[in-house]
Amino acid sequence: MAKIIGVKFKNTAKVYYFAPANDTDVYEEKTGVVVETAKGLEYGTVVFGTREVEDSELKHPLKPIIRKATEKDEKTVKDNEKKIPDAMEYANQKIAEMKIDMKLIGCEYAFDGKKIVFYFTADGRVDFRELVKVLAAKFHLRIELRQVGIRDETKILGGIAPCGRTCCCASCMSDFGKVSIKMAKNQGLHLNPGKISGLCGRLMCCLEYENDYYAEVYKKMPKVGGTVGTPEGNGVVISNDMLKLISKVKITKGDGSDVYKDFPVDRLDFKRNNGGKDDKDDDDEKVSEDMKKILD
C-alpha cells in the first residue's frame, strides 16, 4: 500500500497525488503545500489528507511534498498574483504596438519567481520571438508564451454557462472529455448550435455526463418521425421523453382528424434502433455550416 495526498493547483480541478514528506506530518484539507513538479517548485492546496491506495493504482513513483507552506510562501503567492494585472497590461500594449495577431487571455508567475507564462489564442501559428525579447527585457525573467485552444480559453477565463452555473471546465472538470453530435441525438436534443454549444462555441461538455444512460435508452425508443403501432392504431412518433420512456404519437383517424397521445414505450410496436447506432439517414445527414463550426 502507498500513502498519498491529493493536491490541487490554481485554476485547475484536477487532483494530483503526492507522497507525504514523512509519516508524522498531518495534512488537513485546504492546507497550502510546496511541491516539486515537472515545471519546478509549485504552490498547491491539499484536497484530501493522507490516504492509502494499492500500488497498482499508481502509474509512476510519487514525488514527495517538499513542505507545508510557510507565511513567506503564502506572501510570495499573493505578491505574484498582484503582479499579474501590470504584466497583462504591458504585454497587451506591446502586442498592439507590434501588430501581432494574437489574443492574450492570461498569465501566471512561477512560484519560484523565475518565469512568467503568458497564455494566448490565435487563428494559426504566430511568430512571437520579438515579443519574447521585449518582455524579457522588461521583466528580467524567463518568458514563456503558450498558445491554447478555444476550450482552454474558456477554462482559463471562466464564465456562466447556459445552465446558470459556472462553466464545468473552469470549476469541476479535471480533463476535457470527447463530445460528439451523436450524444445530442441520443438525448433527443434539437441540433441547434445555440442550444447545444457552450461559451467556447463548441459542443457542451455536459452532453457526455449522462450519455451512457441515453445511449442505452435510445435503443429502446422508436425513431422520431417513424411509424409505430399503438393500442389505438398506427401513428407517427412526434417526440420521445427519454426519462419517462414515453412517446408522443400522432394518430390519424378515419375522418382525417389527428389525435396526439402519449404511450409508454412498452405498449408500442416498432422496429428497435439498430443497436444504438445511427440509422442510415442519420449517417448521411448533412450537417449545417453552423454545426460544422462547433465540431471543428
Q: Which residues of 102-128 are buried (b: 16+ CB within 10 A; e: fewer)?
A: bebbbbbbbbeeebbebbbbeeeebeb
What angle (nearest 5°) sits at the alpha carbon of residue 115, between those of residues 48 and 154?
60
Nearest to 60 by CA among 27, 85, 37: 37
User: Which span out of 60-64, 186-190, 199-203 was modeled with the highest average pLDDT?
Assistant: 199-203
Phi, psi of 143 (to 5 degrees): -110, 135
Using pLDDT thresholds of 50, 70 and 90, give the confidence band for residue 285: very low
pLDDT at 282 exceeding the cut of 70: no
SS3 61: coil
Average pLDDT over the chain, rounded to whole? 86
Backbone angles phi, psi at 107, to 5 degrees: -155, 160
Please, which residues bridge with residue 19 across strands?
64
CA pair distance 171, 158, nearest whole angstrom: 8
Predicted confidence at residue 212, as pLDDT, reads: 92
Q: CA 188, 194, 196: angle at the middle one, nearest 5?
A: 40
Look up the pTM and report it. Answer: 0.75
Average pLDDT over residues 54-64: 79
